[in-house]
Structure 1
Amino acid sequence: MAVAETSGLDPVLGFALVGVLGVGSQWLAWRLRMPAIVLMLAAGLVVGPGLGLLDPSREFGDLMQPMLAIAVAIILFEGGLTLNFQSLSDAATGVRRLVLIGGPLGWLASSAALHWAAGLSWESSAVFGGIMIVTGPTVIAPLLRQARLKRRPAALLQWEAIVNDPVGALAAVLAFEVVVVLRDATSVGAAITDMVVGIAMAVALGAAGGWGLARAFRNALVPEYMKVPVLFVLLLAVFAVSDSILHESGLLAVTVMGLWIANADLPSYAELRRFKEHATILLVSGVFILMAANMDRSTLLAMNWTTLLFVVSVILIARPLPVLVALAFSNIPWRERLLVAFTGPRGVVLVAVAGLFGERLAALGVADGDRIAMLAFALVAATVVLHGFTLTPLARLLGQRATETPGVMIVGGSRWATALGLALRKLDLPVLVSDPNHAHLRLAREAGLDTFWGDILSEAAEHKLDFVTYDKVIAATDNDAYNTLVATDLAPEFGREHVFQLKRMRQASARHALPATLGGQKIAADETYFEANARLAEGWEFRVTKLSAEFTPEHWRERNPEGVPVADLGPGGTLRLLGPEDKVKETEDTRLLFLAPKREERKEDRRDENGNDTLKGATAAGR
């Protein structure tokens, strides 16, 4: 028994358990529509201090800290890789203020909260306070995906999280160097010189790495199949070299490198970014499981009312006050300021860096240095749970959600697209009709639908449109090749099950058939562009009706033997676009959108205020 306790879990099983718990938590959160980070945190606590199945420090030993450091570096690099300067647009002023004004103010406010609320010495408070300005891209990204915020507040939170992460780590380094100088009476000038040189080298290494990689990729010096491995190895090299010059400066270096590549207009940028997104999901999952599982029971039991007072003071004072001061007298509306001010979840960087500096302060003789790790975990756990459950309601209260129910983007202006858009609007769904040809959008504009004139795959569309407003795409132009390109390109972003296209005219021919990996799903009767529009010209129309226990799909089919189901909207607001083989949901109060021949309105036909067909007595007249 003693041997089992000493040896612990096999490292390979440990890695497998971390992966299963991390990815499993994300999948379960997706199914339950819950914050993924909350489930990951809970899973780590259960298998770690709860059941004692996993002790990362015991299973992985000296590899634990390097693994976390590399994972955080990759996560920050991927974050920098998403920050194209053009995406800043009208949020640029707010981001500059949050970093240049909010950062230092947040450092001071956090240090004060640590000293007066948590009772830490000024030495520990100054070091930990610097780390606390980070809001954590590992936490912000999943929350933004769930809350579906408007473009500007989402950009503010995302940019602040990415940029402030290395800045917070360097602030902690600066404060720690000051503590070392005061305790060891070393030269202040030498410490400042080391700091400046380290930061300059980190920026130079990151920029050089990004420039060299972009130049090599653009000049075809790296084969396509080796681009991702070369990128990965160069990332590790830049991080390691910079970190060896000044500890924690590697985070700054990889962030700069990611920013450079994001703004280099590389042809392979989309593939690189998607790979890094997949890697980041795995790393975020693993890091959160490891972080929670690595906490011991004594540390958790050490939390008391001072810990609670500290967390509350940070959430209600130390975070909101610096943000509101930084954004004062800016072009950011007050509702957006409040949302950003009261959204400050902390992530893995805070715990990893805080634990490291806590140990170093304790080694220097700072008595309360060992309390930093416990306070860091308490802050991360509290903010993750709080913001995981409150960001969406808060955004809804302040009117900062892009949409309550995600809608449909129809690529291709036509009579069919306009008629479908109007029918979807009856279901209270956002609808956008896009087409590169301005004349093709005439009917949609006259019908009052939102339109975008331009290529939906262009950078202009990415910067001008809130893609988060829509979760389904229908490629419905008169160009089969363009429809296939749109469906294939947008499938990774929207999910292949949410991307549809009209039938290709020549797909029955083996000579012109495309592989299943290209294109979108079938929709409605699986007709071509010309067949779909011809059907409307022959007198067919889109209609909406409500299903119930009295009026089932079988009753609807009896009334509409030729009807073609197009979509159904469940009572919870879940929209499904239907293919020719999909069956309509039989859930109570499901609303069915279908295509059917126009019928003569009879006296017993009635419509409700939403334009839905209604029952008269026990019949469904005219359906």
Structure 2
Amino acid sequence: MESLLFILMLIGALGVISQWLAWRFRMPAIVVMSVMGLLAGPILGLINPQEDLGGMYGPLISIAVGIILFEGSLNLDFREIKGLGKPIFRITTIGAFLAWIFGSLAAHYIAGLSWAVAFVIGGIFIVTGPTVILPLLRQAKLKPRPAAILKWEGIIVDPFGALVAVFAFEFIKFLTMDTVTFATVLAFLAGSLLAVAIGAFFGYGIGWMFENGYVPEFLKSSVVLASVIMAFALSDTVMHETGLLAVTVMGMTIANMHISSIGDMRHFKENISILLISVIFIMLTASLNTETLLSIFDWHIIVFILIMLFVTRPLSIFLSTVNTDLTFKEKLLVGWIAPRGIVALTVSGYFASVLLEAGFEDAEILTSLTFGLVFGTVVAHGFSIGFIAKKLGLSIESKPGVLIVGSSKFSANFAKVLEDLNIPVLISDSSWSRLSHARRLGVPYEHGEILSEQTDYQIDLTPYEYMISLTEYDSYNTLISSTFMPSFGREHLYQLPLQVNQGDHLEDVSKHISGQILFEMNMNWSVLNEKINNGYLFKKTTITNQYTFDQYLQELDKDSVLLMIHRKSGHINFFSPSGEIRPENGDIVISLQKPVQN
């Protein structure tokens, strides 16, 4: 028992450490987790989860994959799919089908897999997935059109890869195995329909209970997690391999009920999925034996990976987007970028065991084949997307942008200063009248509620590295910081100091739900806008050897406000009471200063 406890602890620790290292050093998480898993497993021999966990290994993988697919299917809101442009619709339907067929043919004729295994793995390989695409888009800062296509392809196709694999598996069994009759196929179809009913029942039931207040707030996450496992287990007990279908339908049902707490549910499921993905990926890679690992370098597998990279993906994109308004350069970029992620590997690990149990011995190389494709595409696409996007002219200005929430005289004028420095900036406000300040100065703005569930689809957040809340409501600023902390990270979220005497008396608000404080502790919304009304001006001062920052501070009026530093590298730093920053030679200091009296 102690040994098993140690193994579980080590697997969890390696997964979390890998994610942290990937975030800290801006590396693809899959690459770090691959190295960690291989070191702990086949290289150093510390663990072999498949042997160490015994009968628990298969169920753990299955449940984890089910939860991961449920989290992905929560994004399938039909209102958003209806609004897709022609290119995205074509790529997610015709393109996905072509990728499945071409990938299956390559797996059979190049990698030497049987038709059953080839069509199963071909279905799994249509998945790119938001977990690998979104970090790449943020890293490369693509223009809106190619970014939207890649993002929506990942979101829409992600839950369907495993389902395509399930149906391919059953159909090929019907054609190739004597024990599988037409009655067996009908039974599978009936089981699939039952799985759909189970998923819809659980999804609708949870949505109804949540909306009518039958589940307290503190129990919602636990109820959802338990229900996902129940739906998966019940469906899989009735008909093997249909549990994935049940949880996908369950997620889609909840997503399209538009319940008020779906945002919190998504955050919880995203956190759970990250942990499960990390753990499962370590388990899969650590379970690889040396022979399987070396088989990745077999010329059949290498040629298969090259075919998937340079033939299957580009061909499916170019054929599916004929007679659309995509330019050749956009097709070229989208046709190159298709990194397979952890979901593909975890699902293929699940089907490898299922196929082996069904008597398909060639499924033994399924994990190594998938691992080779995942690792190859993540490295190739992760390290090339920025360079290729720049060469094709499909990347936006590389300077980190600022998303300002709340339009006022101060925020509009501040945004104008940022725009003059060629820093991407956008003001968001739900009030059309308050946006008049932004319209008057001609700065970019977005009319809408930033906390709406449609924000991810209405606003492309890719250009913006910082979000600053400049509204007059303390509680709203804190709510924004709390909501967007998973997306931006606390180090890139700022809000105005509290208006203790006029506002919501939130001086004791916990720091972990608020952003960093902007400027100075007494520079709240009222003070800053009063200064603008009194004629204060934004000043840009370059720090040099001849005019140092210390000299600048000595000459600065006591009523002036230090706002930010625009580094000569293009990066920005906001002044804050929580940390001391100093400009270097060539940096520009932005401040709000009293007008010069004549």
Fold conserved (TM > 0.5)?
yes
The farther-off stretch of 503-512 and 488-497 is: 503-512
1:528 maps to 2:524? yes
The 8 Å contact of residues 565 and 583 in structure 2, kept in 1 or not, is answered as no
C-alpha separation in 2, matches of 1:362 and 1:581 = 57
Q: How does 1:150-189 map to 2 (within 5 A)?
A: 153-186=146-179, 188-189=181-182
1:440-498, Cα deviation, whole Å (9 max, x unpaired)? 33332232201223433335655422233323233323444544444444444433343
1:231-274, Cα deviation, whole Å (9 max, x unpaired)? 11111111112223343322222122112212222122222121
**SS of residue in 1 equivalent to 2:580:** coil
Structure 2 match to 1:464? 458
1:59-97, Cα deviation, whole Å (9 max, x unpaired)? 222212221221111111111113333444643544543
Which of 529, 538, 545 is 1:542 aligned to? 538
Alignment CA distance shift 1:120-1:269 (3 Å): closer
Q: How does 1:85-484 map to 2 (within 5 A)?
A: 85-88=78-81, 90-91=83-84, 93-149=86-142, 153-186=146-179, 188-302=181-295, 303-358=297-352, 361=355, 366=360, 368-401=362-395, 404-459=398-453, 461-484=455-478
C-alpha separation in 2, matches of 1:423 and 1:59 = 60
The farther-off stretch of 10-19 and 166-175 is: 166-175
Which of 7, 14, 21 is 2:14 aligned to? 21
Alignment CA distance shift 1:120-1:595 (3 Å): same
C-alpha separation in 2, matches of 1:89 and 1:405 = 33
C-alpha separation in 1, matches of 2:136 and 2:460 = 17
Letter matched to residue 532 of structure 2: L
The farther-off stretch of 269-278 and 446-455 is: 446-455
Alignment CA distance shift 1:390-1:516 (3 Å): same
1:277-322, Cα deviation, whole Å (9 max, x unpaired)? 2112212222222222222211122222222111101111112212
Alignment CA distance shift 1:444-1:158 (3 Å): closer
Structure 2 match to 1:592? 589
The 8 Å contact of residues 337 and 385 in structure 2, kept in 1 or not, is answered as yes
The 8 Å contact of residues 174 and 195 in structure 1, kept in 2 or not, is answered as no
The 8 Å contact of residues 191 and 238 in structure 2, kept in 1 or not, is answered as yes
How many residues are aligned here? 594
Structure 2 match to 1:619? none
C-alpha separation in 2, matches of 1:438 and 1:98 = 36
**SS of residue in 1 equivalent to 2:84:** helix
Deviation at 1:211, TM superposition (A): 0.9
C-alpha separation in 2, matches of 1:403 and 1:245 = 54
C-alpha separation in 1, matches of 2:34 and 2:389 = 23
The farther-off stretch of 503-512 and 153-162 is: 503-512
Alignment CA distance shift 1:422-1:165 (3 Å): closer
C-alpha separation in 2, matches of 1:179 and 1:480 = 60
C-alpha separation in 1, matches of 2:361 and 2:429 = 66
The farther-off stretch of 549-558 and 416-425 is: 549-558
C-alpha separation in 1, matches of 2:478 and 2:163 = 47
Deviation at 1:537, TM superposition (A): 3.9
**SS of residue in 1 equivalent to 2:51:** helix
C-alpha separation in 2, matches of 1:466 and 1:148 = 10
The 8 Å contact of residues 99 and 160 in structure 1, kept in 2 or not, is answered as yes
C-alpha separation in 1, matches of 2:100 and 2:551 = 66
Identity %: 38
The 8 Å contact of residues 143 and 388 in structure 1, kept in 2 or not, is answered as yes
The 8 Å contact of residues 546 and 591 in structure 1, kept in 2 or not, is answered as yes
Letter matched to residue 5 of structure 2: V
The 8 Å contact of residues 544 and 586 in structure 2, kept in 1 or not, is answered as yes
Structure 2 match to 1:4? none
CA RMSD of aligned residues (A): 3.1
Alignment CA distance shift 1:587-1:277 (3 Å): farther
**SS of residue in 2 equivalent to 1:172:** helix
C-alpha separation in 2, matches of 1:150 and 1:246 = 45
Deviation at 1:581, TM superposition (A): 5.3
Letter matched to residue 278 of structure 1: N
C-alpha separation in 2, matches of 1:208 and 1:156 = 32
1:578 maps to 2:592? no
The farther-off stretch of 341-350 and 62-71 is: 341-350
**SS of residue in 2 equivalent to 1:289:** helix
C-alpha separation in 2, matches of 1:148 and 1:294 = 36
Normalising to structure 1: TM-score of the pair?
0.86
The 8 Å contact of residues 135 and 347 in structure 1, kept in 2 or not, is answered as yes
Question: Any gaps of 5 or more consecutive residues in structure 2?
Answer: none
1:506-531, Cα deviation, whole Å (9 max, x unpaired)? 35999774523565432123323232
Alignment CA distance shift 1:548-1:67 (3 Å): farther
**SS of residue in 2 equivalent to 1:319:** helix
C-alpha separation in 1, matches of 2:478 and 2:366 = 54
1:57 maps to 2:50? yes
The farther-off stretch of 492-501 and 71-80 is: 492-501
The 8 Å contact of residues 169 and 248 in structure 1, kept in 2 or not, is answered as no
C-alpha separation in 2, matches of 1:476 and 1:45 = 47
Deviation at 1:335, TM superposition (A): 4.1
Letter matched to residue 132 of structure 1: F
C-alpha separation in 2, matches of 1:402 and 1:458 = 26
The 8 Å contact of residues 150 and 466 in structure 1, kept in 2 or not, is answered as no
**SS of residue in 1 equivalent to 2:541:** strand
Letter matched to residue 212 of structure 1: G
Normalising to structure 2: TM-score of the pair?
0.89
**SS of residue in 2 equivalent to 1:307:** helix
The 8 Å contact of residues 104 and 119 in structure 2, kept in 1 or not, is answered as yes
Deviation at 1:180, TM superposition (A): 3.5
The 8 Å contact of residues 116 and 173 in structure 2, kept in 1 or not, is answered as no
The 8 Å contact of residues 170 and 248 in structure 1, kept in 2 or not, is answered as no
**SS of residue in 2 equivalent to 1:543:** strand
Question: Any gaps of 5 or more consecutive residues in structure 1?
Answer: 1-6, 602-623
C-alpha separation in 1, matches of 2:486 and 2:301 = 43
1:497-554, Cα deviation, whole Å (9 max, x unpaired)? 4333333333599977452356543212332323212323444322223335555422
Deviation at 1:436, TM superposition (A): 3.5
**SS of residue in 2 equivalent to 1:440:** coil
1:15-67, Cα deviation, whole Å (9 max, x unpaired)? 22222222222222222222222212222222222222222113222212221
Which of 5, 10, 16 is 2:3 aligned to? 10
Letter matched to residue 80 of structure 1: S
Letter matched to residue 501 of structure 1: Q
Deviation at 1:588, TM superposition (A): 5.0
Letter matched to residue 257 of structure 2: A
Alignment CA distance shift 1:512-1:351 (3 Å): closer
Which of 552, 565, 578 is 1:568 aligned to? 565
The 8 Å contact of residues 480 and 504 in structure 1, kept in 2 or not, is answered as yes
The 8 Å contact of residues 131 and 354 in structure 1, kept in 2 or not, is answered as yes
